[in-house]
A and B are shown apart, each in its own frame.
Chain A
């Protein structure tokens, strides 16, 4: 089926995100105006005006009431989804890279880039207090004289930790009350572009500039799988309904103009979660994919790219009916020839 082409942004897409129920899709781009779309038909419901810089990240609360947007204008704004009204502005000391609601939908955490004399920071805010100042600030010191940028932040399941990825390939667990580092792993050699958790926050996947994505057990911080590609990976998500991984990326944006569209590898690639093998891809974008999101109901997914488009893809029946290529039962050497197609066709074109 043809995807809906959501043409609401004028600049490269930075993030796409479904709400908890999957009926709304939020998107943000470098054009400063986040949008809200109806998933069912790709209709734009509204926009949120007020930021003066690139929107790097957004998060919507469990009940789709409040949207948080993190912007390069060094603010985080809280909006009422229904009216599009800006409820609150939380100033920061540098461009804000990431924002995440906590599981109680009252507090949220942000990561901000270093700016002038300030280091990168993790800040926690309480929306119920009258002040717009953070409740807690964690300074991220320089390492070997080099500033370290955080790239993505999440709360863990019971708000016990903040899971933060960095541009030096490290992932850390911070204590949200004391600000201490509770754990640290080196996941990649190069920058981690994005870190995405599944819905019940048992797994997470990292996307890195080293051409790989890695799947981790979020409870024990154990590395499980690696997905190898031949281009930098900008975003990867775990399907909620199938054992699939979706990867997006492509030639770096800066070298895109020097290569033809065919070879930039701007496809969404589908991998078997367990077997680490690619089994299909969806073409369409003509710039590297920056953001991916799967609907929690498993019926569609959205991709946003450097080309400024969000594509909302609905899966074909053949994809939804697709079974694991490895039969459940053990087979004998001269067993019946059941036609297990090793490589089903790509989901749609």
Chain B
């Protein structure tokens, strides 16, 4: 009997050559199993509809999602790319849908577009990537434990600096690698408050680019282009916020200090402009440098249109092609989901005190150029002013939003000669009356007087001439009361007639033959600094008091910036250079000078490299009544302040002289030591000179000489 082994061996021998160990060729071509589902999304918060409406809803959803990308349609399985589960128990849809795209990019894009999309009145969509839902599903549900409240951390007092007992102002300067905040009492030399000592110790710099104060002076923002923006606040300059913004070039605070806008000026960055919420540090929204379809000019020389905040932080607006996009806070969504259409718009400005926009558009095919005042959010046109033959407009709001000046440059029919006029809007008066001021000259600059009704402008017949005229106008006219109410009986005989103001434009005066290119009103009004700034200018500074008509002329050669302190007591003129460096020819003039509003030089400081000086802004906290009260009691305050000033100065003087006295003693001691040494060496010195003592007075002989000088001769004939 043969064993099983033998049988098998024989069988194998027979079959040898029929089977091989190598795998079958070719391998069946299975598609790779995709387990990632990253091209799928889940749309939540859809309406729950009954069977009857299912078809309609599916249609709407399909239309919505298919617009974004190609759906992963599978004809074999009949999958349409969207799956909307139906709950048979409830008889309605579940209120969500799965959606699959061909690529993960499309899915990502869909999330960006659809998340937060207002599907209808009651449903705004919530869209999540499928993998996230999967992850959530896997999570085990446990007892909810209330997270522990983080311990309360007191924020530094942002207004601590206002409580300075001697009511000093502050300013920050950037020079070399330093950034320093100074106290300034408008009399003695500035004193350093903080210069980044803490950061220096840690081996970092607290500012590597420019710095900016927030509009109310609560924060100091310093720019570190490698990382972003840092906010400092409180009396110790604590770090209160950090905002990521690589390559940041500029920042802009919202007027109420709620938001911070950063900009890195990069064309290739889709998120060049970022808007942060300051308190929470949350990124609200990001924008590219240019709005879509914005005309960039022939040589890409049109600068990006700037964002502008409304005065109350409620709106952020930017101009686009034929429209203004207004985003409302805190959602940062377009106001009423659509931009404000403004055909051909060229420029717009928010009113500094109301949610009113002023914008102008040049002449279009058959509509004239026009300046519009538009109220937001109602989009109501408060006023439209049509203008003809316009070449260019520029708009200047009064600080209180009461007046708007529009400088209009017009051309004659032949377009050969240009002339100017100024349209003045009285925004707060009913119907917004507009007055026109005809100026034959070219107007170079127009500025409103803060806290006043006057404006000043530079004009000249030839814009390139060095001598220009400066004119002052008042929007209100002072007239005796009697001219208004003629029929009033009596009362006017005694004393001067009561004066009152009427809304009537009148010219105050013209100063002729001035050498200036920029005007700077003091924030307190009344005083104006007429400056000639820039590289080719003379640096002449003329301090003019419009009320008393006094003029003081000073000079700061090569000055390129003028900055008034918030109270209008001191004005700084700077010679600064850009941080980016480059060749700066007159680096040796770099520095700043502080002047009193009367043109007296108070302080001067020079630096090898000087970049920036900024006064810390102060909020105006007093009401009109309170200001009136202060003004009434000015004499008392004056006495108090004078006394405090004197005491402080005395203390400072004593401190200084103490140090100086010690210095002097040191020097005198050294000098007497050296003289003693010379006395000891005297004998040897005399020997050197062959025994002649050069200090011995006896070697001198005094000789008296009479010198006769004939002053004049005169010949007279004596008869």
Residues of A within 8 A of B (CB): 20, 62, 103-105, 157-159, 200, 202-203, 211, 217, 219, 224, 230-231, 243, 251, 259-260, 262-263, 273-275, 324-327, 330-331, 333-334
Of the candidates A230, A231, A260, A331, the one whose C-beta lies within 8 Å of that of B654 is: A331
Check A326 against B661 for contact (C-beta < 8 Å): yes
Binds A, one of B62-70, B90-98, B133-141, B669-677: B669-677
Can you list 14 contacts pairing A with B, beta carbon distance less than 8 Å? A20-B694, A62-B689, A159-B688, A200-B674, A202-B675, A202-B678, A224-B667, A224-B670, A230-B588, A263-B539, A326-B660, A326-B661, A331-B654, A331-B657
How would residues 640 to 674 of chain B score, 1 for a CB under 8 Å from any chain A CB and 0 otherwise? 00000000001100100110110110010011001
Of the candidates B606, B677, B688, the one whose C-beta lies within 8 Å of that of A219 is: B677
Q: How near does chain B come to A346, taking the closest CB pair, in angstroms?
A: 15
Known: A104-B690, A202-B675. A158 touches B684 (CB 8 A): yes
Alpha-carbon distance between A243 and B671 when the two chains are bound, in angstroms: 11
Alpha-carbon distance between A251 and B585 when the two chains are bound, in angstroms: 13
Alpha-carbon distance between A263 and B539 when the two chains are bound, in angstroms: 10
Residue of A nearest to B607 (CB): A230
Known: A104-B689, A275-B660. A219 touches B674 (CB 8 A): yes
Residues from chain A with a CB closer than 8 A to the CB of B684 are: 158
How would residues 586 to 606 of chain B score, 1 for a CB under 8 Å from any chain A CB and 0 otherwise? 001101000000000000001
Check A217 against B678 for contact (C-beta < 8 Å): no
How many residues of B sit at the interface, in one of the four size bands? 20 to 34
Chain B 660-719 residues near chain A, CB threshold 8 A: 660-661, 663-664, 667, 670-671, 674-675, 677-678, 681, 684-685, 688-690, 694
- Identify which of A200, A224, A334 gathers the most chain B CB atoms within 10 Å of its CB: A200
Which applies to chain B's interface (DSSP): helix, strand, loop or mixed? helix
Residues from chain B with a CB closer than 8 A to the CB of A203 are: 674
B555 at the interface (CB under 8 A from A): yes
Check B664 against A326 for contact (C-beta < 8 Å): yes
Of the candidates B606, B674, B681, B690, the one whose C-beta lies within 8 Å of that of A230 is: B606
Residues from chain A with a CB closer than 8 A to the CB of B670 are: 217, 224
Check A274 against B663 for contact (C-beta < 8 Å): yes
Known: A231-B588, A326-B657. A333 touches B688 (CB 8 A): no
Known: A104-B688, A217-B670, A224-B670. A200 touches B557 (CB 8 A): no
Alpha-carbon distance between A68 and B670 when the two chains are bound, in angstroms: 33
Of the candidates B538, B606, B667, the one whose C-beta lies within 8 Å of that of A274 is: B667
Check B688 against A273 for contact (C-beta < 8 Å): no
How would residues 2 to 23 of chain B score, 1 for a CB under 8 Å from any chain A CB and 0 otherwise? 0000000000000000000000
Check B558 against A200 for contact (C-beta < 8 Å): no
Check B671 against A202 for contact (C-beta < 8 Å): yes
Alpha-carbon distance between A157 and B588 when the two chains are bound, in angstroms: 38
Alpha-carbon distance between A339 and B276 when the two chains are bound, in angstroms: 56
Residues from chain B with a CB closer than 8 A to the CB of A217 are: 670, 674
Check B694 against A62 for contact (C-beta < 8 Å): yes
Alpha-carbon distance between A275 and B667 when the two chains are bound, in angstroms: 10
Check A103 against B685 for contact (C-beta < 8 Å): yes
Alpha-carbon distance between A243 and B665 when the two chains are bound, in angstroms: 13
Check A157 against B657 for contact (C-beta < 8 Å): no
Check A333 against B555 for contact (C-beta < 8 Å): no
Residues from chain B with a CB closer than 8 A to the CB of A263 are: 539, 557-558, 589
Q: How near does chain B come to A228, taking the closest CB pair, in angstroms?
A: 9
Residue of A nearest to B591 (CB): A230
Check B688 against A200 for contact (C-beta < 8 Å): no
Check B657 against A327 for contact (C-beta < 8 Å): yes
Alpha-carbon distance between A264 and B356 when the two chains are bound, in angstroms: 51
Residues from chain B with a CB closer than 8 A to the CB of A273 are: 667
Alpha-carbon distance between A157 and B694 when the two chains are bound, in angstroms: 13
Of the candidates A105, A200, A324, the one whose C-beta lies within 8 Å of that of B675 is: A200
Alpha-carbon distance between A268 and B685 when the two chains are bound, in angstroms: 34
How would residues 206 to 243 of chain B score, 1 for a CB under 8 Å from any chain A CB and 0 otherwise? 00000000000000000000000000000000000000
Other CB < 8 Å A-B pairs besides A251-B588, A259-B557, 12 of them? A104-B689, A104-B690, A157-B681, A158-B681, A159-B688, A200-B678, A202-B674, A203-B674, A224-B670, A243-B667, A333-B654, A334-B650
Q: How near does chain B come to A225, taking the closest CB pair, in angstroms?
A: 8
Q: How near does chain A come to B598, taking the closest CB pair, in angstroms?
A: 18
Alpha-carbon distance between A325 and B661 when the two chains are bound, in angstroms: 10
Residues from chain B with a CB closer than 8 A to the CB of A251 are: 588
Alpha-carbon distance between A156 and B106 when the two chains are bound, in angstroms: 88
Check B557 against A262 for contact (C-beta < 8 Å): yes
Residue of B nearest to A230 (CB): B606
Residues from chain B with a CB closer than 8 A to the CB of A157 are: 678, 681, 685
Alpha-carbon distance between A45 and B210 when the two chains are bound, in angstroms: 62
Query: Which 10 pairs across A and B sit closest by C-beta, in order of nearness?
Result: A263-B557, A202-B674, A230-B606, A326-B660, A104-B688, A326-B657, A274-B664, A274-B667, A103-B688, A274-B663
Alpha-carbon distance between A333 and B677 when the two chains are bound, in angstroms: 39
Residue of A nearest to B658 (CB): A330
Residue of B nearest to A334 (CB): B650
Q: How near does chain B come to A215, taking the closest CB pair, in angstroms?
A: 9
Q: How near does chain B come to A64, taking the closest CB pair, in angstroms?
A: 12
Residues from chain A with a CB closer than 8 A to the CB of B606 are: 230
Residues from chain B with a CB closer than 8 A to the CB of A211 are: 588
Residue of B nearest to A202 (CB): B674
Residues from chain B with a CB closer than 8 A to the CB of A325 are: 660
How would residues 524 to 564 of chain B score, 1 for a CB under 8 Å from any chain A CB and 0 otherwise? 00000000000000110000000000000001011000000
Alpha-carbon distance between A325 and B659 when the two chains are bound, in angstroms: 13
